[in-house]
Structure 1
Amino acid sequence: MQLTYTACNLADTQYLGEITLEAEDDAKLESAKSRKLNEINDAFSSAMADLVTKYPEYEIKSWPQQVKEVEAYNADPESVTPLLTAIAVERSITVDELITKILTNRDLYAASAGALIGRRHAAENLIELVLVMLGLSGVRMVEKIKGVAK
């Protein structure tokens, strides 16, 4: 048994128009949430980058080693601190003075970064709170208020 299909001639077709389908309200909420979270994360990333813009990348990469040597020196002032010693010599300061500066900068960075992280979390929590206040689905909550069952 062989089946034969008749193809449609494009010249015989007629354009009838377009249909625009409206997104469901839950999808609109999710889209708005996603946009707002992206906006928050972009602002956070920019603010975090601003904390370190005055430092070159390779100096930033040395921070963990600096802190490691500070901790070793504080535990034992006789410990070897090649990075700290080289920095201190080139700056014409003592290792103790350098350590004070490193710890001050570390604490300032931690406080600033912590504040920014906290603000980002608070903003995310506000978005989630709004969604909870809307009954996790604004549509369903509105329908409940209007007395419409779905």
Structure 2
Amino acid sequence: MSHAIINAGGQIMQVALRLQPTHKVPPGGRIVRHAPPPHDPETQTCTAVEPVPSGQAAVQFLIQDKPDALETLRARKLREIDGAFSAAAEALLQGYPQAERLTWPIQQTEALGWAANNDNPTPYLDGLAAARGIAAEDMRARTLDAVQAWMGASQVLIGKRQALRDAAHLAQTKEGLAALVWPVTN
């Protein structure tokens, strides 16, 4: 026979075939000597059922639309948004090894500094140019183009992610959360 540990609000906290000393019952909660009724494994909530005898007292599994069920869906939606963002950002990074990406902050700093004042030194970019066998001026211009392209593409992705996360935090219904999808269409 299995056991279910439920909290005072009826949320199924844990299901176990055999109780162990490590199983903790939350304040106001109960251990039920019965398998829980059919429930949503994502939100861990179930529909109302007849009280289930536990040997001590009758316990009723509660509510379908619990407040924390919305919070569980919100957390799932935030993970979905972050996953979609990561996939889109990763597409921008394809073809560049991690070791090269580690140098991007140096390249960006030098390229933007050079764009602001052509007299600013660019020792790292100059070294890359020498290793590639191209003119330092050409390397600076190519790097500046790449930096500006990255900044344009990444700000769109980051802005979309932030807008969707803001909307997810403000959503008051399951339907409102479900309506939030990547990419945002403007």
Q: Report what 2:80 is aligned to.
A: 39
Q: Which structure dedicates a bigger proportion of its chain to helix?
A: 1
1:18 aligns with 2:35: yes
Where in structure 2 are the equivalents of 1:1-150 lying within 5 Å? 17-20=34-37, 21-22=61-62, 25-74=66-115, 75=117, 77=119, 80-131=121-172
The range that moved more, 89-98 or 39-48, is 89-98
Tell me the distance in 2 between the aligned counterparts of 1:26 and 1:46: 31
Find the structure with the greater CA-based Rg.
1
SS in 2 for 1:131: coil
Following TM superposition, by how much is the alpha carbon of 1:130 offset from its aligned partner in structure 2, in angstroms? 2.6
1:121 and 1:81, CA in 2 relative to 1: closer, same or farther beyond 3 A?
closer
Q: Quick one: percent identity of the two aligned structures? A: 27
> Aligned to 2:102, what secondary structure does the other structure show?
helix
Greater strand proportion = 2
Q: Deviations over 1:2-57 (max 9, x none)?
A: xxxxxxxxxxxxxx743443455211111111111111111111211221121111
Report how far residue 76 of structure 1 moved. 5.4
Whole-angstrom distance in 1 between the partners of 2:79 and 2:160: 14
Listed as ranges, the gaps of 5+ residues in structure 1 are: 1-15, 135-150
Q: Structure 1 pair 80/97, CA: closer, same or farther in 2 (3 Å)?
A: same
Distance 1:115 1:73 in 2: 25
The offset of 1:106, in angstroms, is 0.7
Aligned residue in 1 for 2:25: none
Equivalent position SS for 2:104:
helix
**CA deviations over 1:68-108 (Å, ceiling 9, x no partner):** 3335545353x553321221123232111111111111111
Aligned CA RMSD, in angstroms, stands at 2.8
Q: Partners of 1:130 and 1:103 in 2: how far apart?
A: 40
Q: Whole-Å Cα distance in 1 between the matches of residues 35 and 96 of structure 2?
A: 55
For normalisation by structure 2, the TM-score amounts to 0.54
Which amino acid counterpart does residue 68 of structure 1 have in structure 2? T
Q: Comparing both chains, which one has the higher relative contact order based on Cα–Cα distances under 8 Å and sequence gaps of 6 or more? A: 1
Count of aligned pairs between the two proteins: 119
